[in-house]
Amino acid sequence: MPHAQANGIRIHYELSGPLDAPVVMLSNSLGTRLEMWDPQMPALGELYRVLRYDSRGHGRSDAPSGPYSIGLLADDAVALLDALGIPKVHFCGLSKGGMVGQWLASHHGPRLSSLVLCATAAHLPPAELWNQRIEQTAQDGMAPVVYGVTARWFTPAYLATRPPEVEQVRAMILATPPQGYGACCAAIRDMDQRDTLGTIRTPTLLIAGADDPATTVEVMRALNQGIAGSRLVEIPRAAHLVNIEQADRFNAALLAFLDAQPRE
């Protein structure tokens, strides 16, 4: 998979699917990389051209010193589109990726045909949580946080019955550069997009895991109320990584929304 020079860094990406199809851009969560979207690829790949990438500080993209901001991560996404000559996309982001999506919709709306925000928030306190993660990973690397994070990302039933899938996610977390992880934690800590939600005019779908303890259904309902015309889908028996834990239900909701959009 190639890299693109964008916004002063090298961004690792994959672009696949029919050349003449609308582009769906997928943006990863904190501590993962583009492979987190593997469960969506069979569903999307026949009808859409899919662009997924490792965000700054993650995977095989560059991890310059931080702190980062959500605006900077959104600028990376726009720069990647420019580097690839893609004028407009359907954007789907989960958690941190959804925070980037909110910024794109409020600051670069013409670049989006539609917006899908999954398990995310416009503001996610307390700051002490993020400071603790920044300090811990800077001192000891990713190993001390991996089990606590995955315990919040999946329901107990999934953790007990799907160990191979959970281990794949843990491997992604462990492979994340601590410097990049901490810099993105700072971006989330400092983010507050509540006042700009009302400026979003892009058709928007919200997907929440009914059992998500990180970005709860109540948090997603606040987004739903803040983004005019948005629709919220709650997926049962799913925690934070709803796209993995309930891939079939997630894919059905995502495709129904995308297929209803005008073909551009």
The pLDDT score that the predictor gives to residue 263 is 82
The domain tally of the chain equals 1
Span 13-70, pLDDT tens digits: 999 999 999 999 999 999 999 999 999 999 999 899 999 999 999 999 999 999 999 9
pLDDT band for position 155 (cuts 50, 70, 90): very high
Residue 264 within a domain: no
Residue 148 within a domain: yes
Full domain range(s) for residue 228: 3-259
Specify the CATH number for the domain of residue 154: 3.40.50.1820
Residue 264 has pLDDT above 70, yes or no: no
Residue 124 within a domain: yes
The pLDDT score that the predictor gives to residue 8 is 97
- The DSSP code sequence of the chain is --EEEETTEEEEEEEES-TTSPEEEEEPPTT--GGGGGGGHHHHTTTSEEEEEPPTTSTTS---SS---HHHHHHHHHHHHHHHT---EEEEEETHHHHHHHHHHHHSGGGEEEEEEES--S----HHHHHHHHHHHHHH-SHHHHHHHHHHHS-HHHHHH-HHHHHHHHHHHHHS-HHHHHHHHHHHHH---GGGGGG--S-EEEEEETT-SSS-HHHHHHHHHHSTT-EEEEESS--S-HHHHTHHHHHHHHHHHHHTSPP-
Average pLDDT of the residues in 198-213 = 98
Q: What is the pTM of this model?
A: 0.97
